[in-house]
Amino acid sequence: MTYTARFLRWLWRAWPVLCAFATVAVHLLVLVTLPFPASSINKVSGTILQVLGGLIVLHSIDGNLGLFKQQGLLSALKGWLADFPKRNIVISASIGTVNATGQGATLSASAYIVGKTIEERLTVLERRLDEADRRITQQRVELLGRIDTINTDLSNAISATRSELRDLSSKVVESTVGGFKQQLFGVLLAIYGAVVSAFA
């Protein structure tokens, strides 16, 4: 990139001030070239510049609202007008409902015939231990599955939150840096329009 291109790019970063100077130059040129009295030119140009500056600031605010709320000033105004209270008589009817909630649980039961001899009793105890071990293993597998599901859900929620934070950060930067220059230009136009109108 050449020095001239870099210089022009650097200079363009101050476009609100440059455009304000261009507006002053055009105003002075109009004062010199048109045969109308300076007071009428100042009145008209002052009014136009104030309105234009206000509209530029309003446009910038509308852009910032659209960034964060996904809704512009026009749609907000339409929504506000649509919410105008109407004088309708509301008839409401309700139907009773019954909600029942419950929790599910795994239930298992076993019946054993108690033996009369020591060997029969040992066999029953071994069966009970095997069944208890099987149930504990099954419950452990179910709990590990639930933990994995919760872990996956939490990871997804964390990823979504990080993405939303990055998006919000870029919107904040865009609204403060990008919108500031446009608002500055609108304010400069409005101030110059007020000054010009004062000399009318």
Predicted confidence (pLDDT) per residue in 163-193, tens digit: 888 887 777 766 665 566 777 778 888 888 8
Highest mean pLDDT among 1-5, 78-82, 168-172, 187-191: 1-5
Q: Is the pTM of this model over 0.95?
A: no
What pLDDT score was predicted for residue 92?
A: 57
Q: DSSP assignment of the chain, as one string? A: --HHHHHHHHHHTTHHHHHHHHHHHHHHHHHHHS-S-HHHHHHHHHHHHHHHHHHHHHHHHHHHHHHHHS--HHHHHHHHHHTPPP-PPP----------------------PPPSSHHHHHHHHHHHHHHHHHHHHHHHHHHHHHHHHHHHHHHHHHHHHHHHHHHHHHHHHIIIIIHHHHHHHHHHHHHHHHHHHHT-
Predicted confidence (pLDDT) per residue in 105-124, tens digit: 555 555 556 667 888 888 88
Predicted confidence (pLDDT) per residue in 19-63, tens digit: 888 888 998 898 899 888 888 888 888 888 888 888 888 777 777
